């Protein structure tokens, strides 16, 4: 949710501070979004109507950040559940 808010806030304000925070917090997400955007919008062919490269980049960045957060949460949950199970045994 915070990633979505940061991306949307950046698109509204174009603040360099928000841009730096996005780049520092999630380099993997930015890298994946950049690669996906260049694959979908390669410049030498017709782009999809109604979709700009910036919009596509934002959508991919939000999805990748969400997946990373879900994966991290699942790993933490598994570790905590394992520790609680060991304490009870």
How do residues 40-61 score in pLDDT, each as one tens digit?
Answer: 887 766 666 777 888 888 899 8
pLDDT at 45: 62
pLDDT at 74: 92
State the Cα–Cα distance between residues 53 and 35, nearest whole angstrom.
12
Supply the range of the domain harboring residue 47. 2-88
pLDDT at 32: 92
Structure tokens that stand for 85 in this block: 């199970």
Structure tokens that stand for 69 in this block: 């957060």
Q: Give the count of domains, the chain.
A: 1
What is the pLDDT confidence band of residue 65, given thresholds at 50, 70 and 90? confident
Give the DSSP H/E element, type plus range, for residue 38. Answer: helix 27-40
Q: What rounded mean pLDDT belongs to the chain? A: 83
State the Cα–Cα distance between residues 27 and 22, nearest whole angstrom.
8
């Amino acid at each position: 949710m915070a990633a979505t808010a940061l991306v949307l806030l950046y698109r509204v304000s174009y603040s360099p501070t928000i841009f730096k925070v996005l780049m520092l917090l999630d380099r993997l997400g930015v890298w994946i979004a950049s690669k996906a955007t260049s694959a979908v919008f390669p410049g030498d062919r017709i782009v999809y109507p109604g979709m700009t490269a910036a919009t596509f980049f934002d959508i991919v960045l939000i999805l990748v950040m969400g997946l990373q957060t879900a994966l991290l949460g699942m790993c933490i949950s598994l570790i905590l559940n394992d520790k609680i199970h060991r304490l009870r045994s």
